[in-house]
Amino acid sequence: MRFLSADLIFPIETQPIPNGILVVGPQGKIIDILTENDENAPDSGKVETFKGALCPGFINAHCHLELSHMKGLVPERTGLPSFIMQIVSRRHENAEQKMEAIRLADEEMWANGIEAVGDICNTADTLESKLNSRLRYHSFVEVFSFDSSKAQAVLTEGIRVAKTYTENGLTATVVPHAPYSVSEELFDGIRQQQAKFPGTISIHNQETESENEMFRSGSGELVELFKKFGEDFSSFEPKFKSSLNYHLNQLPKQVNSILVHNTMTRREEFEEANEQNENLFWCACPNANMYIENRIPNVPMWLETQSRVCVGTDSLASNHQLSVFDELKLIQEHHQSLGVQQLVKMGTINGAKALGMENEKGSFRKGKLPGVVLLKNLDSLSTDLSQISVQRIV
Ligand SMILES: [Zn+2]
């Protein structure tokens, strides 16, 4: 049993406790949370005291572990269509180097205080690392093809990959890549897979204006890119509405859906979408948005529309590190109005809820196994996060 104390404890689902004591069992299970003068408080000699704040392990709601070998390969700030082009042409590398990069990325996340990950996969490349990891993973097996005649074949391959995860005791769902890369027939097939692989869905949403342009008018940079890849757009008819207005109806409504990026989503769209589907989570990946499109998501606006906001790192192809806390720092740097408590909540319990892991992760509650992370020297709720670093304690 360990007794951990710090200037502040963030239980997350209740108010921060100054000088509280966290009682942690052998496997990292939360046994109790005590106030400073609690009658059950142990002798001070038994207490490990830290300078800063203790919070539960972070939840990375959006990652692509299998792209870890692409760190530093793609030039920054060239826009999404150019980024996709680079990924497609450079994703196949030496298998051994790929595996090693995946293993190192997993360790990096652990050291950065990340406890669980919603991880996008197109292959089973990450299976071995996930089986040996201290992190908990949910694998989003991503499928894409805008050519409706390929829907069945693409789905069959997605099901095969998803099975390799579930047959090894990991959770997985079959998910659409993005509205611009999935035909309506493929969306139908994805919804039907909920019967076999139930759980949270994820989709990239409105990361670039050319995505909206495609659905409004049937033209633009993305359409041109996919024509270059040989996709047949001759039967595609513009929907005369935004990308989100189009694809929201294609998602299953009975399970959580994580919409990732949302940098081009307008306020009315947040409001309407939350009204139409009460299981939406909105995932911010600010470092990746800066890397690819030189843009920052307007998180305060998302919150004003009562949206549930979680945080993701995206992959090392579009980020210099995999750290949820670094994402929170960047959000605060651009949006000073957001408080520490609000930010930490986005990085913990909101992500856990999005991934359906809230009974185990994301907050200090008796019986949970959320991990314990020290935010070094964070001793007040108005602290500037840029000066704070993370250390894993449990
Ligand atoms: Zn992504």
CA of 129 relative to ligand 1 center, distance in Å: 19
The yes-or-no verdict on residue 88 having pLDDT over 90 is no
- Tokens for 158, please give them: 């997605």
CA of 312 relative to ligand 1 center, distance in Å: 9
Domain 58-361 belongs to what topology? TIM Barrel (3.20.20)
Given the DSSP bridges, would you call strands 21-24 and 280-284 parallel, antiparallel or unpaired? unpaired
Cα dist. 354→141, 202, 285 in Å? Answer: 16, 10, 15
The yes-or-no verdict on residue 130 having pLDDT over 80 is yes
Res 261: pLDDT: 98
CA of 279 relative to ligand 1 center, distance in Å: 20
Q: Do residues 102 and 317 make contact, with C-beta atoms less than 8 angstroms apart?
A: no
CA of 232 relative to ligand 1 center, distance in Å: 24
pLDDT single digits (tens) 40-51: 899 989 999 999
CA of 328 relative to ligand 1 center, distance in Å: 17
**Closest by CA position to 160, among listed 188, 141, 182, 136:** 141
CATH code 3.20.20.140 region(s) in the chain:
58-361
pLDDT single digits (tens) 310-366: 999 999 999 999 999 999 999 999 999 999 999 999 999 999 999 999 999 999 999
pLDDT single digits (tens) 212-264: 999 999 989 988 888 888 877 777 888 989 999 999 999 999 999 999 999 99
Res 80: pLDDT: 86
In the chain, the percentage of residues whose pLDDT exceeds 70 is 99
- Tokens for 109, please give them: 């996340």
CA of 54 relative to ligand 1 center, distance in Å: 29
The yes-or-no verdict on residue 193 having pLDDT over 80 is yes
CA of 63 relative to ligand 1 center, distance in Å: 6
CA of 88 relative to ligand 1 center, distance in Å: 13
pTM: 0.97
